[in-house]
Amino acid sequence: MNSSPDVTNAGARARELVDAYPNWYHRIEVVPGLVTPGINDSSRSLEALNLPGDLRGATVLDIGTRDGFFAFESERRGADVLAVDYLPAAATGFSIAAGLLGSQVRYLQENIYNLRPEAIGTFDVVLMLGLLYHLPDSIRAFSTIRKLCRSELYLETHVADDDYPELASLPVALFCPGMALNADPTNYWAPTTPCVEAMLVECGFAVESVARLGNRSIVKARIASDEHRYYRTIAHGEQLPLR
């Protein structure tokens, strides 16, 4: 059966929009049969993440959303989603993908370090995917997320385990100055998996599962009692010691 001219034109227009953006990171099926040419195998990570299939009634915060693959997937599973990135939505594929998908995902251009529950609320599920190594202060980031998360955190990150097997059982993070990690000057740290786990526990999370995918680790954590919070607020200058 031939497509109507309207459908053909819409398909051609979608193709034009996708082709007009040269730096796709995610592979998103924006209209049936048209997948954005991302450099990242987003579906592989999605499978390894094992997110709940049904997110109806849940709120999801996707920090470092980039083109929005995981935000749109969470929306497709029923969640109310806030996508955050320090880049403007039009600087990535997010605006194009959201428009073509007819997505209702809200977008906030902000740095993770400036996110506050008073401004954006709290979320049942927080996604921190492909973000940790970009952050100069990991503990500050986890402290920020701990205040925003009502229940579960899904984290995906590059880890140093395979590059430095002699360190792989220790809670250490390698500093990657300049272009040292993937020739990307926005990368700062390569932690081992035990380091990621220890930082999460330090910041009031309980680790529920850990999986490896190549040189990446995928961690599911849940909020737990935040025993060391006082010391972190002192360390980060949120208050002075009481004595």
Ligand X SMILES: C[S@@+](CC[C@H](N)C(=O)[O-])C[C@H]1O[C@@H](n2cnc3c(N)ncnc32)[C@H](O)[C@@H]1O
Phi then psi for residue 66, to 5 deg, are: 55, -120
User: Would you say 10 or 108 has its CB closer to ligand X?
Assistant: 108
Q: Which of 14, 21, 130, 155 binds ligand X (CB under 6 A)?
A: 130
Q: Does 85 bind ligand X (CB under 6 A)?
A: yes
Residue written as token pair 């007009």: 20
Smallest separation (angstroms) from ligand X to the CB of 112: 4
User: Of 135 and 149, which has the nearer Cβ to ligand X?
Assistant: 135
40 belongs to the binding site for ligand X (CB under 6 A) = yes
Distance CA 106, CA 82 (A): 5
| C-beta of 141 vs 200, nearer to ligand X | 141
Rounded CA-CA distance 190/218 in Å is 14
For the chain, helix (H) and strand (E) counts, in that order, are: 8, 11
Q: How far is the CB of 156 from ligand X (least distance, A)?
A: 6
Unique residue bearing structure tokens 């099926």: 29
| Phi-psi group of 66: left, alpha or beta (phi > 0 → left; psi -120 to 50 → alpha; rest → beta) | left
Which residues within the stretch 156-185 sit at the binding site for ligand X (CB under 6 A)? 156
Out of 17, 60, 129, 153, the residue judged to bind ligand X by CB under 6 A:
129
**Among candidate residues 156, 60, 44, the one with its CA nearest the CA of residue 105:** 60
29 - beta bridge partners? 35
**Only segment of 4-12, 47-55, 127-135, 167-175 that touches ligand X (CB under 6 A):** 127-135
Nearest-approach distance from CB 40 to ligand X, in angstroms: 5
Beta strands at 59-63 and 106-109: parallel, antiparallel or unpaired: unpaired
Residues composing the chain: 243
- Contact window for ligand X (CB under 6 A) among 4-12, 83-91, 99-107, 144-152: 83-91
Q: Is 200 in the site for ligand X (CB under 6 A)?
A: no
Query: Distance between CA atoms of 132 and 150, rounded to whole angstroms?
Result: 20
The yes or no reply on residue 111 touching ligand X (CB under 6 A) is yes
Interaction site with ligand X (CB under 6 A)? 40, 42, 64-66, 70, 85-87, 111-112, 129-131, 134-135, 156
